[in-house]
C-alpha cells in the first residue's frame, strides 16, 4: 500500500500543477470530486449517470457558452491518448507524476480536432491542450459544455467517470487538491 499522495506546496518543474481553466475554483459548482450522483439528485438534468464521480467538473460561465474555451494541461507529461469516447466526446489522457508517483490525467468533453499535440508528445504544465467541445453535440457526447478532469493513480488509462462503490473512489485523486488554483 502506498501512502496517501500529499500536496507539496513547493513543487516546481515537472511536478508543478496549473489550473486547466482560469478562475478554476469558481467553476466547480455542480459535480465536485466524489459526489454521489443519481438521476434523481443530480444537479444536471437530464442525468444518465449513477455513481461516485471520479473527477471534478469545471463549468463554463454564461459568456463562454459560444466562445472557444481553452483547456490547459494541468501538469507536465506525455500525451498518452486522444480519442472519441462514449460519455465524453473528445477525450485526452496525460501521464504525469505527483511527488514521484505516476498519475494519469483525463480531460473529458474536449473538441477532439482542437488537440494539436500528438500522442507521445510531451506537454508542459500550462500548455494549451485544446478547447472545450460544443455543448450538446458529438464533441461532448451530448453533455453540456464543461470539462471533466480526472486524476487516476498509476499509469493505466482509466476513463471511468463514475464508480459504483465508495472504496473504488480511492483509486482517484481530487483534482482540486492540485489544479483548482486559489
Residue where the block lists cell 487516476: 152
Stretch that binds Zn ion, among 40-48, 80-88, 115-123, 146-154 (CB under 5 A): 146-154
Q: Which of 27, 57, 129, 133 binds Zn ion (CB under 5 A)?
A: 57
Binding residues for Zn ion, total number by CB under 5 A: 3
Query: Contact 128/71 with Cβ under 8 angstroms?
Result: yes
Choose between 47 and 127: whose C-beta lies nearer to Zn ion. Answer: 47
Q: Under the criterion CB under 5 A, does residue 94 sit at the interface with Zn ion?
A: no
How many angstroms separate the CA atoms of 163 and 36, rounded?
9
Q: Site for Zn ion (CB under 5 A): which residue of 148, 169, 179, 180?
A: 148
Burial of 147 (0-12, 13-18, 19+ CB in 10 A): buried
Comparing CA positions, the residue from 53, 56, 40, 30 lying closest to residue 166 is: 53
| Nearer Cβ to Zn ion (76/109) | 109
Grid cell listed for 133: 467541445
> Does the footprint of Zn ion cover residue 145 (CB under 5 A)?
no
Rule CB under 5 A: which residues touch Zn ion? 55, 57, 148
Amino acid at each position: 500500500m502506498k501512502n496517501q499522495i500529499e500536496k507539496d506546496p513547493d513543487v516546481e518543474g515537472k511536478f508543478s500543477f496549473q489550473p486547466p481553466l482560469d478562475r478554476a475554483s469558481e467553476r466547480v459548482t455542480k459535480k465536485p470530486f466524489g459526489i454521489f450522483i443519481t438521476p434523481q439528485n443530480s444537479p444536471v438534468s437530464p442525468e444518465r449517470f449513477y455513481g461516485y464521480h471520479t473527477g471534478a467538473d469545471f463549468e463554463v460561465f454564461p459568456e463562454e457558452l459560444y466562445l472557444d474555451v481553452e483547456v490547459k494541461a494541468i501538469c507536465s507529461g506525455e500525451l498518452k491518448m486522444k480519442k472519441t469516447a462514449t460519455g465524453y466526446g473528445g477525450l485526452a489522457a496525460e501521464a504525469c507524476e505527483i511527488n514521484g508517483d505516476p498519475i494519469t490525467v483525463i480531460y473529458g468533453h474536449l473538441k477532439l480536432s482542437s488537440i494539436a499535440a500528438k500522442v507521445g508528445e510531451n506537454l508542459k504544465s500550462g500548455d494549451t491542450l485544446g478547447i472545450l467541445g460544443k455543448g450538446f453535440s458529438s464533441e461532448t457526447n451530448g453533455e453540456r459544455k464543461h470539462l471533466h478532469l480526472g486524476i487516476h493513480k498509476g499509469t493505466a488509462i482509466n476513463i471511468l467517470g463514475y464508480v459504483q462503490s465508495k472504496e473504488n473512489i480511492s483509486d482517484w485523486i481530487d483534482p482540486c487538491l492540485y489544479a483548482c488554483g486559489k
